[in-house]
Structure 1
Amino acid sequence: MGKTIDTFDWTIIALYACCLGVIALYHSKKLKRQDDIFLAGRSMSRWPVAISMYMALFSTNSFVGLVGWVNRDRGTIWIALQNIGIISAVPLVIWLYPSLFYRLRISTAYEYLEKRFNYAVRAFASLFFIGARIMWMSTMLYAASLVISMMLGWTEDRGIPEGNVYAILLIGALGIFFALSGGMHAVIWTDVAQFFVVMTGVSTMVYLSVSRSGGIGEVLATAAAAGKFDAPSWFSLTDDISILSVFLFGFIAYLSNTGADQLVIQTYLSAKSEREIKASLWRSGFLLKPISIIFPALGILTFVFYQSRPDLAALMRVPDDALPVFVVHVLPSGIRGLMVAAIMSALLTSLEGGMAALSAAAQVDFIRRWGRPMKDSATVLLGRALIFFWGSTVIGIALWIRTLGENNNIIQILNIVMYPFVGVLLGIFLLGMLTRRAVPQGVLIGAIAGFLTTVAFPLSGRLVDILIARGMSFAPNVLENIRYLNSISNFFYVILGFGATMLFGYATSLFFPSPRFQQLEGLTRFSLPAPEKRSAAEGTSAP
């Protein structure tokens, strides 16, 4: 029989939940207008926004997925290279996005695309964001269910084979509740609180795993002997990871997250000035992102620990169970409850922000775009109804994603179900921001080409298998090439989607009349809108 949480653990979890509830209910009184729900009234300062941005992209996908990756047979610490790619992208992010988005006074990123192109491009991109964010949140919910089901004793050996189904339903319901309660003010301030809870829990796990594995010297020696520090090739299309694929993945994914993802954009647009936005991006990228190296490092530590405890290693159904098993069977009472609170922190903060972002995109880009003008009270009510709808949708898709988890690591699942959208979205935005020649028709053609290019790689092999089963034959060289395409690492999907969208989008735009210069004034990075007048107290922009 496995351990479960005890009374002391429950006490810690209950205190934590009460604190979150108080924050949410306190800020619910501030919900008077649409901007209060989605942009916190554009009133936040740099450090809360920086922490909230970090937490918006952090989740149980990071917590469970990266630890699980390193515990795979071929998993190594080099997965952390994506953080180097992210940090390298920060200067470009600060140059590209804040000035343009803030000066246009938009509520969603996709409003910019209508100004630059037309409504069709805006709607297309908003739908792509909705698809990507739903897949990300659903994968995150599945990852959390692995931990929570173990913690609550909802496991097969206790007669509950569908325990993670119940965990998905429970956590999803809690996420909807907190998202409904306090709007973006509550999201940002709970992010701040949850950041410290998460880091406290992770630091405790690092200490215990090192101390119970013989010390740092023994950890390094055992991990090195197992090949956990072995460098991958510089470049390979078919290896799980290569140095270039992981670096470019982090670089391009972060460009997309900060410039085409409503969840992150609405977080930094909640800042009270352009200067505060740039300062928060600088802090989030250069000061907070490096902290994420702790998660693959924790993967190394748990891997070494399990080498000396094969009895506990045998409890892992899949490598992604490395963290849940450690939490349940190794951590002492109280610390175990703190870790559940930390995991719930990572989950709820992402669910809250994600549901708010989905609600904003649906309301601003579709419903209010075509509907009649609404009173502020009606927009608040509609926003809450949309949060409930999207939360229910995420729960349903998480139940489907659990079937993928039997054969794939969480990081791989994300690459398959989410990143076909992410690269395409980045391509759409950069065609608008960095070129004067891109036109709506070309951008839409490029986006469709980028998406089809991306999904062709994972689906090509399966399609061929279906056709062969139905009696169709292929020449050996054709079949070999198709199999090769199917074997390309899923870390390249976001890169392929971005590259194909940019290439086809720009090339096909050349077949259509170019836009007039006046149409683009204030809508590209090279012709920014005039800045708003700032008070003397605000000063010049600086980190």
Structure 2
Amino acid sequence: MELLNETAEIVNNGISQFTFNATDYTVFVFMLFISFGIGVYFGFFAKGADTTDEYLMGGKRMKTIPIAISLVASQLSGISIMTIPSEMYSFGINWCFNVMSMLIVVPILCYVVIPVFYNNNISNCYEYLEIRFNRKTRQIQTIAFIVTLFLMLPVFIFIPALAFSQVTGINIHLINTIVCSICVFYTMFGGIKAVVWTDVVQAFIMVTSVVLVGILATVKIGGIGEVYHIAKAGGRLNINLAFDLTTRSTLWNCFISGTLMWASYVGLNQSCVQRIVSLPSLGHAKRSLVIFGFGFILILGFNTYTGIAMYSRYHDCDPIQAGFVQKTDKLMPYFVQDIVGHLKGMPGVFISCVFSAALSTMSASLNSLSGIVYFDYIKPYIRHTESRANLIMKFSPTLQLNTA
């Protein structure tokens, strides 16, 4: 509850400068309609066997680039889209080394972590714990995974729902019901294929929003050179090389913590591993991870640049001191309104961006959670058939989300 209240503060009031019109509603509904349509296609029209392998891993015939894009999309969230620029605005560029740690993470994943799953023909990353140690160790980890997702799933959707409620006045519980229903629908009927391809669409929305804001901000400020000079003069481009543990952000603590965080999340979290091992071979997985690494650095790098541009825009008129916003975490919505608020449909694009980040994470989590629950806690106690297993996994996302 404390986490929910804290993240709610990020968007509350700050996003209220937006007002929705018919164009914005059209943009938002169009985004949801595409996700719904992808679920319908893969659930009822695309050819594929009715098996657990098809539902969870697309028959191990998934394509390299869509998986890479899906992995990038799932690393973003509504919280990160709005708070990373605020970090740059307040404390400078050092946090970007958290993003640059991906240069080390990708080789670790390609040559140390992922080959273990392919060489042992493992599709469930927690299965390795049973092979290496024992079943109890596997169960402890899967319980931790399930509990973590049950705690985080409401947070994933709460932030964008709160944002949408702020700009439209629609009841937040009604928004949650509609959007979560669509997410459960395409995850339930479309399986991993629908999850991946909706991630591709949602990633396009996120990139469009972030890049458009960054470019238009640069134009308003006077170009990249002007952004650079103002940020440098304000100390926002200073790299902290100190080894002082009491220092908030340095190159070292950001790079090291980023390496540990991203390696564990991408390489040892079932929602990511499941998509990686859905590729036909280890070679495909390595190529996908390399593309993912470059895409991750590009998109999050652009997001950090937006924070530097934000500082350049407000270096001589701080919106917090002026009383326009109450705290730095609310700066991004204010900045978006300032830069692109005059463009018709941009509030819809921005809210769609925040929702897309949430849905990409949620759908991947629900799909992987279905597999974990079935194979670890249901299969040992029933007579297993492919049709029965597939039916249970298709309907388990609804139960999981209702419980969460």
Q: Which TM-score tier does this pair reach, normalised by the shorter chain?
A: 0.7 to 0.9
In structure 2, distance between residues paired with 1:164 and 1:71: 30
Contact 1:71 1:303 in 2 (8 A): yes
Deviation at 1:311, TM superposition (A): 6.1
Q: Tell me, what secondary structure is at the counterpart of 2:86?
A: helix
C-alpha distance 304-258 of structure 1, shift in aligned 2 (>3 A): same
CA RMSD of aligned residues (A): 2.7
Q: Tell me, what secondary structure is at the counterpart of 2:240?
A: coil
Query: Quick one: which of 173, 179, 187 aligns to 1:179?
Result: 187
1:169-227 deviation per Cα after TM superposition (whole angstroms, max 9, x unaligned) = 66444433432341100111112222222212211101221222343333333333433
What is residue 35 of structure 1 aligned with on the other side?
53
Q: What letter corresponds to residue 176 of structure 1 in structure 2?
A: V
Contact 1:80 1:293 in 2 (8 A): yes
Contact 1:150 1:328 in 2 (8 A): no
What is residue 353 of structure 2 aligned with on the other side?
342
What is residue 151 of structure 1 aligned with on the other side?
167
User: Does 1:238 pair with 2:256?
Assistant: no
1:364-411 deviation per Cα after TM superposition (whole angstroms, max 9, x unaligned) = 22222x3112332322332233212332354xxxxxxxxxxxxxxxxx
In structure 2, distance between residues paired with 1:120 and 1:327: 49
Contact 1:147 1:321 in 2 (8 A): no
In structure 1, distance between residues paired with 2:134 and 2:383: 21
Deviation at 1:87, TM superposition (A): 1.7
In structure 1, distance between residues paired with 2:227 and 2:397: 45
In structure 2, distance between residues paired with 1:176 and 1:390: 10
User: Does 1:351 pair with 2:362?
Assistant: yes
In structure 2, distance between residues paired with 1:221 and 1:305: 12
1:340-370 deviation per Cα after TM superposition (whole angstroms, max 9, x unaligned) = 22222222111111111222222222222x3
User: Does 1:226 pair with 2:234?
Assistant: yes
In structure 1, distance between residues paired with 2:18 and 2:51: 47
What is residue 19 of structure 1 aligned with on the other side?
34
1:467-510 deviation per Cα after TM superposition (whole angstroms, max 9, x unaligned) = xxxxxxxxxxxxxxxxxxxxxxxxxxxxxxxxxxxxxxxxxxxx
User: Does 1:371 pair with 2:360?
Assistant: no
User: Does 1:8 pair with 2:23?
Assistant: yes
Hey, which of these two has a bigger chunk of helix by percent? 2
In structure 2, distance between residues paired with 1:316 and 1:23: 39
Contact 2:74 2:361 in 1 (8 A): yes
In structure 2, distance between residues paired with 1:76 and 1:238: 17
C-alpha distance 324-287 of structure 1, shift in aligned 2 (>3 A): closer
Deviation at 1:114, TM superposition (A): 1.0
1:137-180 deviation per Cα after TM superposition (whole angstroms, max 9, x unaligned) = 444434434533443357xxxxxxxx767765664444334323
Q: Tell me, what secondary structure is at the counterpart of 1:20?
A: helix
How many residues matched?
383
TM-score under structure 2 normalisation? 0.85
Q: Tell me, what secondary structure is at the counterpart of 2:221?
A: coil
In structure 2, distance between residues paired with 1:336 and 1:350: 22
1:2-25 deviation per Cα after TM superposition (whole angstroms, max 9, x unaligned) = 341111121222222222211111
Q: What letter corresponds to residue 397 of structure 2 in structure 1?
A: I
User: Does 1:100 pair with 2:116?
Assistant: yes
Deviation at 1:58, TM superposition (A): 2.1
Deviation at 1:284, TM superposition (A): 1.2
Question: Which stretches in structure 1 are left out of the alignment for 5+ residues?
Answer: 155-162, 395-543
Deviation at 1:330, TM superposition (A): 4.1
Q: What letter corresponds to residue 22 of structure 1 in structure 2?
A: G
Contact 2:101 2:255 in 1 (8 A): yes
C-alpha distance 304-181 of structure 1, shift in aligned 2 (>3 A): farther
C-alpha distance 85-35 of structure 1, shift in aligned 2 (>3 A): same
Alignment of 1:4-153 (within 5 A): 4-29=19-44, 30=48, 32-72=50-90, 75-145=91-161, 147-153=163-169
- Identical columns (%): 25
Q: Tell me, what secondary structure is at the counterpart of 2:101?
A: helix
Q: Which has the larger radius of gyration?
A: 1
C-alpha distance 258-228 of structure 1, shift in aligned 2 (>3 A): same
* Structure possessing the higher relative contact order (Cα contacts under 8 Å, 6 or more residues apart): 2
C-alpha distance 227-31 of structure 1, shift in aligned 2 (>3 A): farther
Contact 1:31 1:182 in 2 (8 A): no
In structure 1, distance between residues paired with 2:51 and 2:121: 15
Alignment of 1:428-467 (within 5 A): none
Deviation at 1:246, TM superposition (A): 0.8
In structure 2, distance between residues paired with 1:269 and 1:67: 33
Deviation at 1:133, TM superposition (A): 3.9
Question: Which stretches in structure 2 are left out of the alignment for 5+ residues?
Answer: 1-15
TM-score under structure 1 normalisation? 0.65
Q: What letter corresponds to residue 335 of structure 2 in structure 1?
A: F
Query: Quick one: which of 257, 263, 286 aligns to 1:255?
Result: 263
In structure 1, distance between residues paired with 2:402 and 2:221: 42
